[in-house]
Amino acid sequence: MKLDKQSYYERLLQASASDAAGNKPPRPSAAIVPWRKNNNDKIEVYWVRRSPTMRFMGGWYAFPGGGLARSDVALHVGQMPSGASDTSFSDADPSTNAGEIQRLGPDLIPGLVACALRELFEETGLLLLSDSKQPLDEARIGPDRMRLLDKKISFSDLLTERGWELNAEALEFAGRWLTPPLAPMRFDNRFFLLRWDQEEDQQPSMMGTELDHGEWIEPHRAIERWTRGEVTLAPPILHILKVLGEVGPAAGSHRLRNTQEANLGPMRRIELRPGIVLIPLLTPTLPPATHTHAYLLGHKRAVLVDPATPHADETERLRLTIHAAQAQGIQLQAIWLTHHHPDHIGAADAMRREFEVPICAHPQTARHLAATGLTVDQELHDDQLFDLGGEEAFPVRVIHTPGHTRGHLCFFVESHRSLIAGDLVSTLSTIVIDPPDGDMDAYLESLRRVRQLMPEILFPAHGPAVLNAVQKLEKLERHRLAREEEVFQAWQAGQREPIEMVKSIYSGIDEAIHPVAARQLGAHIERLQKLGRITGGRITGGRVTVD
């Protein structure tokens, strides 16, 4: 088989240089973990589920909280909780990058505590006041809370109107966490514990649209649900549940504030579903992405999916991370590649040599890589099934999903219906289909095929994981078909050059990415030709002339 020349998209990837330091600093935020003793003298926490419609972590379980608002800084919170003024991270936090952290001066820390109290009231109805002359039950404060949620009054004005004074004395500082570099939206978050007994007049309740569920639950029950793949949790939520479940708030105070046990060597352990550890690696890739995610997949027998980075320092961090995993009983068996693009394979050969494991990929990917001097040791084929479990099975099925490239693969964890999606899906931008290796017809068919598997969560190579996977896949297909109809209409109107179509179809985008957009439109034209909807023109065999 004669190899195609390197695609325009691949040349762009090789020429790119990601600069994560250019991103906006993470937004300061705060969250509160309400806890109590139940009738059996067991600790329970109150956790909430974010609505699936939320842009950030929709459908995930968390604790009440949110981002710092300008108005929070002017609020008075009474006596401050101990430890809240700590503006540093634990030295054990590997996600810290001094250049990207917005340092909060001492005058802003009370505002962050006020943010936590405001979010607690908005999301659960719990309100911490210094001296309330009236009992605060749901019947009394419910209407005020609804006015706040409907933005008919500010929190500051509500406090003034009612003569209420906040008091944060009951809070206990429980650690500071930085959102990993999964997406442009990141948070620098502080957690606080709050004991809230069953005898209190106020009890948590749901109101508004941001949350759709809340409940008291024993931490070990919550972790059991996560272990079964029923819920998705961010690393700090899982860590807090483990500590509170094992030793409780008092004995666990140091562990909550010093999060070293939540690390995997030099990186944070990001295990959103059991057996799927996400490892974001700074990689030359196309904006808005700055990182490509590698995945350590499996319980005992594990594979490393897409060791992406070509950077020496990132490669070293990846090496130490895998060694840390092996020290915890993980046995690396192989390296799996979703496809051959340079932002997915940068450290593959280095990891092969370090851990003496084979590189595995689809035959089409192997052919592409052979031309670059990288040898694939074993081939992966559609519908192969591997068990990467230990005492319990961890079945992973190989799914051939051509479209972005001819040899593109996804990996489907059947036990909890999780899809390692590679570049079939991005949660940051649109996937580029660049002929001739890219094929829009094959891409749409791959979306449909994967959707039939009924996945529950998508783990892309770029961007955060997303729940409601079927709806996401349906939305992607609708978007591509709508774009195709725009291309058809432009063709009917007499436009023949994709670069000219870009100006009308992608109006407003940066001119620097016009050539990429033109390749994408060329892929649509090729598909329209296959369908017989258009004839003639200069697009043949998927090759697009770009002026």
Q: How far apart are CA 277 and CA 291, in angstroms?
A: 15
Q: How far apart are CA 482 and CA 486, in angstroms?
A: 7
> Which residue matches tokens 């309330």?
132
Task: State the fold for domain 23-264.
Answer: Nucleoside Triphosphate Pyrophosphohydrolase (3.90.79)
- Give the pLDDT confidence score for residue 390 in this predicted structure: 82
Instruction: Please report, as a single letter, which amino acid is at residue 312.
Output: A
**Parts of the chain belonging to CATH 3.90.79.10:** 23-264
**Parts of the chain belonging to CATH 3.60.15.10:** 8-18+283-470
Element (H, E) at 268: strand 267-268
- Count of H-run helices and E-run strands, the chain: 15, 22
Nearest residue to 413 via CA among 379, 456, 443: 456
Q: What is the pLDDT of residues 440-456, one digit of tens each?
A: 999 999 999 999 999 99
Could you tell me which residues come within 8 angstroms of residue 332 by beta carbon, excluding any fewer than 6 positions away? 302, 303, 304, 322, 325, 326, 355, 357
State the sign of the Cα–Cα–Cα–Cα dihedral 65, 66, 71, 72: positive
Rounded to 10 degrees, what is the CA torsion of 84, 89, 93, 95?
A: 110
- Give the pLDDT confidence score for residue 209 in this predicted structure: 87
Low-confidence ranges of the chain (pLDDT < 70): 1-6, 8-9, 11-12, 14-23, 83-107, 132-138, 537-547
CB atoms under 10 Å from CB of 74, counted, come to 10
Phi/psi class of residue 280: alpha, beta or left (left: φ > 0; alpha: ψ in -120 to 50)? Answer: beta
Element (H, E) at 217: strand 211-217
Q: Quick check: bond before 274 cis, omega within 30?
A: no
- Give the pLDDT confidence score for residue 547 in this predicted structure: 38
**Which tokens is 323 given?**
């060694």
Element (H, E) at 45: strand 43-50
- Give the pLDDT confidence score for residue 438 in this predicted structure: 95
Task: State the fold for domain 8-18+283-470.
Answer: Metallo-beta-lactamase; Chain A (3.60.15)
